[in-house]
Amino acid sequence: MIFKTGQELRDAAKKNIFKSQTSGQAKGYVQANLVILPADWAFDFMIFAQRNPKPCPLIEVGDKGNPYTSFCADHADIRTDIPKYHVYRNGELDAELDDIGDLWQDDFVFFLLGCSFTFEQALLLADLDVRHITEKSNVPMYKTNIPCHSAGKFKETPMVVSMRPFKSKDVIKAIEVTRDFPAVHGSPVHIGSSEEIGIADISKPDFGDPVTINEGEVSVFWACGVTPQMAAMVAKPPLMITHAPGYMFVGDKKDYEYKL
Amino acid sequence: MIFKTGQELRDAAKKNIFKSQTSGQAKGYVQANLVILPADWAFDFMIFAQRNPKPCPLIEVGDKGNPYTSFCADHADIRTDIPKYHVYRNGELDAELDDIGDLWQDDFVFFLLGCSFTFEQALLLADLDVRHITEKSNVPMYKTNIPCHSAGKFKETPMVVSMRPFKSKDVIKAIEVTRDFPAVHGSPVHIGSSEEIGIADISKPDFGDPVTINEGEVSVFWACGVTPQMAAMVAKPPLMITHAPGYMFVGDKKDYEYKL
Protein backbone atom coordinates (compact mmCIF):
# COMPACT_ATOMS: atom_id res chain seq x y z
CA MET A 1 0.00 0.00 0.00
CA ILE A 2 1.48 3.34 -1.06
CA PHE A 3 -0.42 6.49 -0.10
CA LYS A 4 -0.10 9.75 -2.01
CA THR A 5 -1.18 12.11 0.78
CA GLY A 6 -1.11 12.31 4.55
CA GLN A 7 -4.92 12.35 4.61
CA GLU A 8 -5.14 9.04 2.69
CA LEU A 9 -2.65 7.38 5.02
CA ARG A 10 -4.37 8.70 8.15
CA ASP A 11 -7.78 7.48 6.90
CA ALA A 12 -6.37 3.97 6.43
CA ALA A 13 -4.65 4.07 9.84
CA LYS A 14 -7.93 5.21 11.45
CA LYS A 15 -9.73 2.16 9.99
CA ASN A 16 -6.82 -0.09 11.05
CA ILE A 17 -6.34 -1.06 7.40
CA PHE A 18 -2.79 0.34 7.44
CA LYS A 19 -0.55 -0.85 10.28
CA SER A 20 2.93 -0.46 8.78
CA GLN A 21 5.91 1.88 9.08
CA THR A 22 5.46 5.23 7.33
CA SER A 23 8.92 5.64 5.74
CA GLY A 24 8.53 6.30 1.99
CA GLN A 25 4.80 7.00 2.37
CA ALA A 26 3.01 10.20 1.29
CA LYS A 27 6.16 11.64 -0.26
CA GLY A 28 6.65 15.32 0.48
CA TYR A 29 4.22 15.38 3.42
CA VAL A 30 5.63 16.12 6.85
CA GLN A 31 6.01 13.22 9.30
CA ALA A 32 6.21 13.81 13.04
CA ASN A 33 7.01 12.16 16.37
CA LEU A 34 4.16 11.97 18.92
CA VAL A 35 4.29 12.44 22.70
CA ILE A 36 1.12 12.48 24.85
CA LEU A 37 1.25 13.31 28.58
CA PRO A 38 -1.23 14.31 31.29
CA ALA A 39 -1.23 18.10 31.88
CA ASP A 40 0.86 18.08 35.08
CA TRP A 41 3.70 16.35 33.21
CA ALA A 42 2.98 18.04 29.89
CA PHE A 43 3.96 21.55 31.01
CA ASP A 44 7.34 20.29 32.27
CA PHE A 45 7.79 18.41 28.99
CA MET A 46 7.02 21.54 26.98
CA ILE A 47 9.68 23.47 28.92
CA PHE A 48 12.06 20.52 28.37
CA ALA A 49 11.39 20.79 24.62
CA GLN A 50 11.84 24.58 24.62
CA ARG A 51 15.25 24.13 26.28
CA ASN A 52 16.28 21.28 23.97
CA PRO A 53 14.96 22.34 20.58
CA LYS A 54 17.39 20.22 18.55
CA PRO A 55 16.22 16.82 19.91
CA CYS A 56 12.67 18.09 20.65
CA PRO A 57 11.56 20.54 17.92
CA LEU A 58 7.88 21.25 18.67
CA ILE A 59 5.78 21.62 15.55
CA GLU A 60 2.35 21.37 17.20
CA VAL A 61 0.95 21.25 20.74
CA GLY A 62 -2.71 20.48 21.45
CA ASP A 63 -4.95 22.28 23.93
CA LYS A 64 -5.53 20.31 27.15
CA GLY A 65 -8.00 17.49 26.46
CA ASN A 66 -8.25 18.17 22.71
CA PRO A 67 -7.17 15.18 20.57
CA TYR A 68 -7.57 16.96 17.21
CA THR A 69 -4.76 18.63 15.26
CA SER A 70 -5.13 22.12 13.76
CA PHE A 71 -1.73 22.95 12.29
CA CYS A 72 0.24 19.95 10.92
CA ALA A 73 -3.02 18.52 9.61
CA ASP A 74 -6.61 19.69 9.51
CA HIS A 75 -8.59 17.93 12.27
CA ALA A 76 -6.65 14.66 12.41
CA ASP A 77 -7.57 12.50 15.43
CA ILE A 78 -4.36 11.91 17.35
CA ARG A 79 -5.99 8.86 19.08
CA THR A 80 -6.58 6.84 15.91
CA ASP A 81 -4.78 8.28 12.89
CA ILE A 82 -1.31 6.88 13.59
CA PRO A 83 -0.61 3.27 12.52
CA LYS A 84 0.83 2.13 15.87
CA TYR A 85 1.25 3.51 19.41
CA HIS A 86 3.51 2.72 22.36
CA VAL A 87 2.19 3.09 25.90
CA TYR A 88 4.77 3.70 28.65
CA ARG A 89 3.86 3.32 32.32
CA ASN A 90 6.38 4.50 34.91
CA GLY A 91 9.02 4.69 32.18
CA GLU A 92 8.54 1.12 30.93
CA LEU A 93 6.98 0.07 27.63
CA ASP A 94 3.66 -1.47 28.70
CA ALA A 95 1.65 -1.94 25.49
CA GLU A 96 1.68 -1.58 21.71
CA LEU A 97 -1.74 -0.52 20.36
CA ASP A 98 -3.42 0.33 17.04
CA ASP A 99 -5.41 3.12 18.63
CA ILE A 100 -5.59 4.77 22.04
CA GLY A 101 -9.21 5.98 22.23
CA ASP A 102 -9.81 3.91 25.38
CA LEU A 103 -6.86 5.51 27.17
CA TRP A 104 -7.58 9.15 26.31
CA GLN A 105 -8.04 11.45 29.33
CA ASP A 106 -9.51 14.96 29.66
CA ASP A 107 -6.15 16.26 30.88
CA PHE A 108 -4.04 14.80 28.05
CA VAL A 109 -1.89 17.13 25.94
CA PHE A 110 -0.35 15.95 22.68
CA PHE A 111 2.94 17.12 21.20
CA LEU A 112 4.07 16.63 17.61
CA LEU A 113 7.83 16.94 17.11
CA GLY A 114 9.73 17.32 13.86
CA CYS A 115 11.29 14.19 12.38
CA SER A 116 14.49 13.62 10.43
CA PHE A 117 12.53 12.22 7.46
CA THR A 118 11.95 15.88 6.51
CA PHE A 119 15.60 16.91 6.40
CA GLU A 120 16.61 13.63 4.75
CA GLN A 121 14.43 14.57 1.78
CA ALA A 122 16.38 17.82 1.61
CA LEU A 123 19.70 15.92 1.77
CA LEU A 124 18.58 13.64 -1.08
CA LEU A 125 17.48 16.65 -3.15
CA ALA A 126 21.01 18.04 -2.63
CA ASP A 127 22.33 14.80 -4.22
CA LEU A 128 23.87 13.53 -0.99
CA ASP A 129 24.14 9.78 -0.33
CA VAL A 130 22.09 9.11 2.81
CA ARG A 131 23.64 5.79 3.79
CA HIS A 132 20.78 4.02 5.60
CA ILE A 133 18.40 4.93 2.76
CA THR A 134 20.88 3.55 0.21
CA GLU A 135 21.23 0.42 2.35
CA LYS A 136 17.46 0.19 2.96
CA SER A 137 17.81 0.00 6.73
CA ASN A 138 16.84 2.12 9.75
CA VAL A 139 19.08 5.04 10.67
CA PRO A 140 21.56 4.09 13.46
CA MET A 141 20.82 5.88 16.75
CA TYR A 142 23.02 6.16 19.84
CA LYS A 143 22.68 7.23 23.45
CA THR A 144 25.39 9.87 24.10
CA ASN A 145 27.06 11.63 27.02
CA ILE A 146 25.66 14.97 25.78
CA PRO A 147 23.33 16.08 28.59
CA CYS A 148 19.96 17.62 27.75
CA HIS A 149 18.97 20.68 29.78
CA SER A 150 16.69 19.62 32.63
CA ALA A 151 13.17 21.01 33.10
CA GLY A 152 11.00 20.36 36.15
CA LYS A 153 10.52 16.60 36.51
CA PHE A 154 12.57 15.86 33.37
CA LYS A 155 16.14 15.66 34.63
CA GLU A 156 19.47 14.14 33.59
CA THR A 157 18.40 12.98 30.17
CA PRO A 158 21.19 11.95 27.77
CA MET A 159 20.66 13.15 24.20
CA VAL A 160 20.01 10.47 21.61
CA VAL A 161 21.57 11.13 18.20
CA SER A 162 21.22 9.66 14.71
CA MET A 163 24.31 9.20 12.53
CA ARG A 164 24.86 9.55 8.80
CA PRO A 165 28.40 9.20 7.34
CA PHE A 166 29.60 11.55 4.57
CA LYS A 167 32.75 12.31 2.63
CA SER A 168 34.53 15.32 4.09
CA LYS A 169 33.37 17.75 1.37
CA ASP A 170 29.78 16.55 1.75
CA VAL A 171 29.83 17.14 5.52
CA ILE A 172 29.82 20.87 4.82
CA LYS A 173 26.91 20.54 2.40
CA ALA A 174 24.96 18.39 4.88
CA ILE A 175 25.42 21.04 7.58
CA GLU A 176 24.33 23.82 5.23
CA VAL A 177 21.23 21.95 4.06
CA THR A 178 19.96 20.88 7.50
CA ARG A 179 20.74 24.24 9.14
CA ASP A 180 17.75 25.67 7.28
CA PHE A 181 15.39 23.14 8.91
CA PRO A 182 15.46 24.11 12.62
CA ALA A 183 11.92 22.71 13.03
CA VAL A 184 13.17 19.20 12.23
CA HIS A 185 16.37 18.93 14.32
CA GLY A 186 18.35 21.51 12.28
CA SER A 187 22.14 21.33 11.90
CA PRO A 188 24.16 18.46 13.43
CA VAL A 189 25.21 18.44 17.09
CA HIS A 190 28.56 16.72 16.49
CA ILE A 191 30.90 15.61 13.72
CA GLY A 192 33.83 13.19 13.83
CA SER A 193 34.89 11.21 16.91
CA SER A 194 32.09 9.08 18.31
CA GLU A 195 34.14 8.39 21.50
CA GLU A 196 34.04 12.11 22.28
CA ILE A 197 30.25 11.95 22.76
CA GLY A 198 30.33 8.69 24.69
CA ILE A 199 29.61 6.16 21.94
CA ALA A 200 31.71 3.05 22.71
CA ASP A 201 31.21 1.20 19.41
CA ILE A 202 29.84 2.94 16.32
CA SER A 203 29.03 -0.46 14.77
CA LYS A 204 26.59 -1.20 17.59
CA PRO A 205 23.81 1.42 17.63
CA ASP A 206 21.45 1.50 20.63
CA PHE A 207 18.46 1.78 18.26
CA GLY A 208 18.10 1.15 14.50
CA ASP A 209 20.68 -0.62 12.33
CA PRO A 210 24.43 -0.16 11.77
CA VAL A 211 25.49 1.33 8.40
CA THR A 212 28.67 1.09 6.34
CA ILE A 213 31.23 3.83 7.03
CA ASN A 214 33.72 3.92 4.16
CA GLU A 215 37.41 4.81 4.43
CA GLY A 216 37.77 8.60 4.71
CA GLU A 217 34.14 9.23 5.66
CA VAL A 218 33.20 11.37 8.66
CA SER A 219 30.37 10.47 11.02
CA VAL A 220 27.81 13.27 11.31
CA PHE A 221 25.48 13.22 14.30
CA TRP A 222 22.07 14.91 14.53
CA ALA A 223 19.90 15.25 17.64
CA CYS A 224 17.21 12.56 17.44
CA GLY A 225 13.49 12.46 18.16
CA VAL A 226 13.95 9.34 20.32
CA THR A 227 15.30 11.68 23.03
CA PRO A 228 11.79 12.30 24.51
CA GLN A 229 11.36 8.53 25.03
CA MET A 230 14.75 8.55 26.79
CA ALA A 231 13.54 11.48 28.94
CA ALA A 232 10.45 9.45 29.90
CA MET A 233 12.53 6.39 30.77
CA VAL A 234 14.55 8.55 33.17
CA ALA A 235 11.69 10.66 34.65
CA LYS A 236 9.18 7.77 34.70
CA PRO A 237 5.84 9.58 34.26
CA PRO A 238 2.94 7.32 35.35
CA LEU A 239 1.60 7.37 31.78
CA MET A 240 3.05 8.55 28.49
CA ILE A 241 1.96 7.57 24.98
CA THR A 242 4.10 7.87 21.85
CA HIS A 243 3.97 6.65 18.25
CA ALA A 244 5.78 3.31 17.76
CA PRO A 245 9.23 4.09 16.31
CA GLY A 246 8.94 4.33 12.51
CA TYR A 247 5.13 4.51 12.65
CA MET A 248 4.91 8.28 12.44
CA PHE A 249 2.13 10.85 12.34
CA VAL A 250 1.77 12.02 8.72
CA GLY A 251 0.39 15.55 8.26
CA ASP A 252 -1.18 17.68 5.53
CA LYS A 253 1.66 20.20 5.55
CA LYS A 254 4.54 19.70 3.16
CA ASP A 255 8.15 19.13 4.26
CA TYR A 256 9.11 22.32 2.50
CA GLU A 257 6.90 24.39 4.83
CA TYR A 258 9.27 23.54 7.67
CA LYS A 259 12.22 25.13 5.90
CA LEU A 260 13.11 28.42 7.55
CA MET B 1 24.62 56.09 32.93
CA ILE B 2 25.86 53.84 30.14
CA PHE B 3 26.50 50.17 30.96
CA LYS B 4 28.90 48.01 29.01
CA THR B 5 27.40 44.62 29.88
CA GLY B 6 24.06 43.10 30.80
CA GLN B 7 25.47 42.11 34.19
CA GLU B 8 26.42 45.72 35.05
CA LEU B 9 22.99 47.00 34.05
CA ARG B 10 21.16 44.27 36.01
CA ASP B 11 23.27 44.95 39.13
CA ALA B 12 22.29 48.63 38.99
CA ALA B 13 18.62 47.75 38.37
CA LYS B 14 18.70 45.34 41.33
CA LYS B 15 19.92 48.14 43.62
CA ASN B 16 17.31 50.52 42.11
CA ILE B 17 20.15 52.82 41.02
CA PHE B 18 19.14 52.42 37.37
CA LYS B 19 15.44 53.03 36.58
CA SER B 20 15.56 54.08 32.92
CA GLN B 21 14.78 52.63 29.50
CA THR B 22 17.33 50.12 28.23
CA SER B 23 17.57 51.20 24.57
CA GLY B 24 21.21 51.85 23.64
CA GLN B 25 22.46 50.15 26.83
CA ALA B 26 24.91 47.20 26.99
CA LYS B 27 25.47 47.25 23.22
CA GLY B 28 25.53 43.81 21.67
CA TYR B 29 23.84 42.10 24.64
CA VAL B 30 20.42 40.55 24.05
CA GLN B 31 17.38 42.37 25.43
CA ALA B 32 14.12 40.54 26.07
CA ASN B 33 10.43 41.03 26.87
CA LEU B 34 9.17 39.58 30.18
CA VAL B 35 5.87 37.83 30.95
CA ILE B 36 5.15 36.23 34.35
CA LEU B 37 1.99 34.19 34.97
CA PRO B 38 0.77 31.68 37.57
CA ALA B 39 1.18 28.07 36.37
CA ASP B 40 -2.47 27.46 35.41
CA TRP B 41 -2.31 30.40 32.96
CA ALA B 42 1.36 29.88 32.09
CA PHE B 43 0.87 26.59 30.27
CA ASP B 44 -1.84 28.11 28.04
CA PHE B 45 0.44 31.08 27.42
CA MET B 46 3.31 28.79 26.44
CA ILE B 47 1.07 27.03 23.90
CA PHE B 48 -0.08 30.48 22.68
CA ALA B 49 3.58 31.41 22.17
CA GLN B 50 4.36 28.11 20.40
CA ARG B 51 1.49 28.78 17.95
CA ASN B 52 2.45 32.43 17.44
CA PRO B 53 6.25 32.36 17.31
CA LYS B 54 6.60 35.60 15.34
CA PRO B 55 4.98 37.89 17.96
CA CYS B 56 5.98 35.58 20.88
CA PRO B 57 9.44 34.08 20.25
CA LEU B 58 10.33 32.25 23.47
CA ILE B 59 14.00 32.52 24.36
CA GLU B 60 13.74 31.28 27.96
CA VAL B 61 11.07 29.78 30.23
CA GLY B 62 11.62 29.30 33.97
CA ASP B 63 10.71 26.23 36.00
CA LYS B 64 7.58 26.70 38.11
CA GLY B 65 8.42 28.86 41.14
CA ASN B 66 12.03 29.53 40.08
CA PRO B 67 12.77 33.26 39.61
CA TYR B 68 16.35 32.77 38.39
CA THR B 69 17.46 32.67 34.76
CA SER B 70 19.82 29.98 33.41
CA PHE B 71 20.05 30.60 29.68
CA CYS B 72 19.79 34.30 28.61
CA ALA B 73 21.81 35.22 31.67
CA ASP B 74 23.56 33.31 34.43
CA HIS B 75 21.39 33.41 37.59
CA ALA B 76 19.72 36.79 37.06
CA ASP B 77 16.84 37.42 39.49
CA ILE B 78 13.77 38.07 37.38
CA ARG B 79 12.08 39.78 40.39
CA THR B 80 14.61 42.58 40.78
CA ASP B 81 16.99 42.82 37.81
CA ILE B 82 14.70 44.69 35.41
CA PRO B 83 14.49 48.50 35.79
CA LYS B 84 10.68 48.69 35.82
CA TYR B 85 7.71 46.28 35.92
CA HIS B 86 4.03 46.49 35.02
CA VAL B 87 1.46 44.56 37.04
CA TYR B 88 -1.80 43.68 35.28
CA ARG B 89 -4.83 42.49 37.24
CA ASN B 90 -7.79 41.12 35.28
CA GLY B 91 -6.29 42.59 32.09
CA GLU B 92 -5.89 46.12 33.47
CA LEU B 93 -2.62 47.86 34.33
CA ASP B 94 -2.72 48.04 38.13
CA ALA B 95 0.77 49.12 39.20
CA GLU B 96 4.23 50.16 37.99
CA LEU B 97 6.98 48.83 40.30
CA ASP B 98 10.79 48.84 40.59
CA ASP B 99 10.83 45.25 41.79
CA ILE B 100 8.26 42.52 42.33
CA GLY B 101 9.76 40.44 45.16
CA ASP B 102 6.65 41.04 47.31
CA LEU B 103 4.34 39.68 44.60
CA TRP B 104 6.30 36.52 43.72
CA GLN B 105 4.35 33.25 44.14
CA ASP B 106 5.50 29.62 44.27
CA ASP B 107 3.46 28.83 41.15
CA PHE B 108 4.83 31.70 39.01
CA VAL B 109 6.49 30.90 35.68
CA PHE B 110 8.52 33.53 33.82
CA PHE B 111 8.89 33.82 30.07
CA LEU B 112 11.55 35.84 28.24
CA LEU B 113 10.66 36.68 24.65
CA GLY B 114 12.93 37.96 21.91
CA CYS B 115 12.88 41.70 21.25
CA SER B 116 13.28 43.72 18.05
CA PHE B 117 16.33 45.54 19.47
CA THR B 118 18.30 42.44 18.42
CA PHE B 119 17.29 42.47 14.77
CA GLU B 120 17.57 46.26 14.61
CA GLN B 121 21.28 45.93 15.40
CA ALA B 122 21.51 43.55 12.44
CA LEU B 123 19.64 46.04 10.20
CA LEU B 124 22.03 48.83 11.23
CA LEU B 125 25.04 46.60 10.57
CA ALA B 126 23.60 46.04 7.08
CA ASP B 127 23.71 49.86 6.62
CA LEU B 128 19.94 50.23 6.58
CA ASP B 129 18.32 53.43 7.87
CA VAL B 130 16.12 52.40 10.80
CA ARG B 131 13.84 55.42 10.89
CA HIS B 132 12.84 55.64 14.57
CA ILE B 133 16.50 55.23 15.58
CA THR B 134 17.51 58.03 13.17
CA GLU B 135 14.67 60.17 14.57
CA LYS B 136 15.50 59.20 18.20
CA SER B 137 11.94 58.11 18.96
CA ASN B 138 10.14 54.87 19.88
CA VAL B 139 9.21 52.49 17.10
CA PRO B 140 5.56 52.97 15.98
CA MET B 141 3.35 50.00 16.91
CA TYR B 142 -0.16 49.19 15.71
CA LYS B 143 -3.00 46.86 16.62
CA THR B 144 -3.93 44.94 13.44
CA ASN B 145 -6.71 42.74 12.12
CA ILE B 146 -4.25 39.81 11.83
CA PRO B 147 -5.62 37.22 14.28
CA CYS B 148 -3.23 35.29 16.50
CA HIS B 149 -3.89 31.57 16.86
CA SER B 150 -5.85 30.92 20.05
CA ALA B 151 -4.60 28.62 22.83
CA GLY B 152 -6.65 27.59 25.85
CA LYS B 153 -7.75 30.71 27.71
CA PHE B 154 -5.89 33.00 25.27
CA LYS B 155 -8.42 33.63 22.50
CA GLU B 156 -9.11 36.21 19.78
CA THR B 157 -5.94 38.22 20.22
CA PRO B 158 -5.11 40.70 17.45
CA MET B 159 -1.42 40.75 16.51
CA VAL B 160 0.46 43.94 17.34
CA VAL B 161 3.08 44.96 14.77
CA SER B 162 5.94 47.44 14.66
CA MET B 163 6.63 49.41 11.48
CA ARG B 164 9.85 50.56 9.82
CA PRO B 165 9.74 52.29 6.39
CA PHE B 166 12.33 51.46 3.72
CA LYS B 167 13.08 52.27 0.11
CA SER B 168 11.86 49.49 -2.15
CA LYS B 169 15.33 48.00 -2.74
CA ASP B 170 16.05 48.01 0.99
CA VAL B 171 12.80 46.16 1.75
CA ILE B 172 14.37 43.04 0.25
CA LYS B 173 17.54 43.48 2.29
CA ALA B 174 15.51 44.03 5.49
CA ILE B 175 13.59 40.79 4.86
CA GLU B 176 16.81 38.88 4.19
CA VAL B 177 18.54 40.19 7.31
CA THR B 178 15.68 39.60 9.76
CA ARG B 179 14.77 36.19 8.31
CA ASP B 180 17.90 34.83 9.97
CA PHE B 181 16.69 35.93 13.43
CA PRO B 182 13.61 33.74 14.03
CA ALA B 183 14.21 33.97 17.81
CA VAL B 184 13.57 37.72 17.73
CA HIS B 185 10.44 38.03 15.53
CA GLY B 186 12.16 36.93 12.29
CA SER B 187 11.03 38.16 8.87
CA PRO B 188 8.20 40.71 8.53
CA VAL B 189 4.52 39.69 8.61
CA HIS B 190 3.38 42.30 6.07
CA ILE B 191 4.70 44.88 3.62
CA GLY B 192 2.89 47.74 1.92
CA SER B 193 -0.75 48.69 2.50
CA SER B 194 -1.48 49.39 6.16
CA GLU B 195 -5.26 49.40 5.46
CA GLU B 196 -5.00 45.75 4.43
CA ILE B 197 -4.05 44.76 7.98
CA GLY B 198 -6.61 47.01 9.62
CA ILE B 199 -4.52 50.09 10.40
CA ALA B 200 -6.77 53.14 9.87
CA ASP B 201 -4.10 55.86 10.08
CA ILE B 202 -0.38 55.05 9.81
CA SER B 203 0.45 58.46 11.32
CA LYS B 204 -1.35 57.51 14.55
CA PRO B 205 0.33 54.44 16.09
CA ASP B 206 -1.46 52.70 18.99
CA PHE B 207 1.85 52.55 20.91
CA GLY B 208 5.18 54.36 20.42
CA ASP B 209 5.72 57.39 18.17
CA PRO B 210 4.93 58.11 14.50
CA VAL B 211 7.92 58.23 12.11
CA THR B 212 8.50 59.99 8.79
CA ILE B 213 7.61 57.93 5.72
CA ASN B 214 9.25 59.49 2.68
CA GLU B 215 7.85 59.51 -0.88
CA GLY B 216 8.44 56.11 -2.47
CA GLU B 217 9.08 54.28 0.79
CA VAL B 218 7.29 51.06 1.68
CA SER B 219 6.02 50.32 5.19
CA VAL B 220 7.42 47.05 6.54
CA PHE B 221 5.60 45.44 9.47
CA TRP B 222 7.12 42.99 11.96
CA ALA B 223 5.26 41.03 14.63
CA CYS B 224 5.75 42.83 17.94
CA GLY B 225 6.47 41.74 21.49
CA VAL B 226 3.59 43.89 22.79
CA THR B 227 1.25 41.16 21.50
CA PRO B 228 1.42 39.18 24.81
CA GLN B 229 0.17 42.28 26.69
CA MET B 230 -2.67 42.49 24.14
CA ALA B 231 -3.41 38.77 24.76
CA ALA B 232 -3.60 39.47 28.50
CA MET B 233 -5.93 42.44 28.00
CA VAL B 234 -8.29 40.15 26.07
CA ALA B 235 -8.01 37.01 28.26
CA LYS B 236 -7.83 38.95 31.56
CA PRO B 237 -5.74 36.64 33.78
CA PRO B 238 -6.19 37.57 37.48
CA LEU B 239 -2.49 38.47 37.66
CA MET B 240 0.21 38.97 35.04
CA ILE B 241 3.50 40.81 35.39
CA THR B 242 5.56 42.20 32.51
CA HIS B 243 8.51 44.55 32.09
CA ALA B 244 7.44 48.18 31.52
CA PRO B 245 7.63 48.87 27.75
CA GLY B 246 11.18 49.94 26.88
CA TYR B 247 12.54 48.77 30.26
CA MET B 248 13.76 45.40 29.05
CA PHE B 249 15.55 42.44 30.59
CA VAL B 250 19.19 42.60 29.49
CA GLY B 251 21.01 39.25 29.32
CA ASP B 252 24.57 37.91 29.21
CA LYS B 253 24.12 36.35 25.78
CA LYS B 254 25.04 38.39 22.74
CA ASP B 255 22.56 39.38 20.03
CA TYR B 256 24.56 37.38 17.55
CA GLU B 257 23.84 34.14 19.42
CA TYR B 258 20.20 34.47 18.39
CA LYS B 259 21.07 34.41 14.71
CA LEU B 260 20.11 31.11 13.17
- Residue A195: the pLDDT is 97
Mean pLDDT of A198-223: 96
ipTM of model: 0.88
Answer whether B46 sits within 8 Å of A42, measured CB to CB. Answer: no
Give residue A55's region: left, alpha or beta (phi > 0; psi -120 to 50): alpha
The C-alpha atoms of residue B6 and residue B75 are separated, in whole angstroms, by: 12
Mean pLDDT of A211-235: 95
One-letter amino acid for residue B38 of the chain: P
- Residue A41: the pLDDT is 96
- Residue B177: the pLDDT is 95
* Interface contact B61, partner A, CB < 8 A: yes
Phi then psi dihedrals of residue B172, to 5 deg:
-60, -45
Supply the pTM of this predicted model. Answer: 0.93
- Residue B255: the pLDDT is 92
Answer whether B61 sits within 8 Å of A42, measured CB to CB. Answer: no
Residues B14-59 have pLDDT tens digits of 999 999 999 889 999 999 999 999 999 999 999 999 999 999 999 9
* Smallest CA–CA distance from A58 into chain B, residue: B50
Mean pLDDT of A166-183: 94
Which of A63, A149, A151 is opposite residue B47, by nearest beta carbon?
A: A63
One-letter amino acid for residue A250 of the chain: V
- Residue B1: the pLDDT is 87
Chain A residues within an 8 Å CB radius of B61: 47, 50-51
Which of A46, A70, A260 is opposite residue B46, by nearest beta carbon?
A: A46
Residues B189-236 have pLDDT tens digits of 999 999 999 999 999 999 999 999 999 999 999 999 999 999 988 999
Answer whether B260 sits within 8 Å of A42, measured CB to CB. Answer: no
Mean pLDDT of chain A: 95
pLDDT above 70 as % of chain A:
100
* Interface contact A39, partner B, CB < 8 A: yes
One-letter amino acid for residue B41 of the chain: W
Which of A39, A58, A179 is opposite residue B50, by nearest beta carbon?
A: A58
The C-alpha atoms of residue A86 and residue A144 are separated, in whole angstroms, by: 23
Mean pLDDT of B155-159: 95
Mean pLDDT of B238-252: 95
* Interface contact A218, partner B, CB < 8 A: no
Residues A109-130 have pLDDT tens digits of 999 999 998 899 999 999 999 9
pLDDT above 90 as % of chain B:
93
* Interface contact B74, partner A, CB < 8 A: no
Asked whether the predicted pLDDT for residue A260 surpasses 90, the reply is: no
Asked whether the predicted pLDDT for residue B260 surpasses 90, the reply is: no
CA A256 to chain centre: 17
DSSP conformation letters of chain B: ---SSHHHHHHHHHTTS--S--TTSSTTEEEEEEEEEEHHHHHHHHHHHHH-TTT--EEEEPPTT--B-SSSSSS-BTTTSSS-EEEEETTEEEEEES--GGG--TTEEEEEEE-HHHHHHHHHHTT---HHHHTTSPPPEEEEEEEPPPBTTB-SPEEEEEEEEEEHHHHHHHHHHHHT-GGGT-S-SEES-SGGGT-S-TTS-SBS------TTEEEEEEE-TTHHHHHHHHH--S-EEEEPTT--EEEEEEGGGG--
pLDDT above 70 as % of chain B:
100
- Residue in A41, A43, A109 to test binding to B, most B beta-carbons within 10 Å: A43
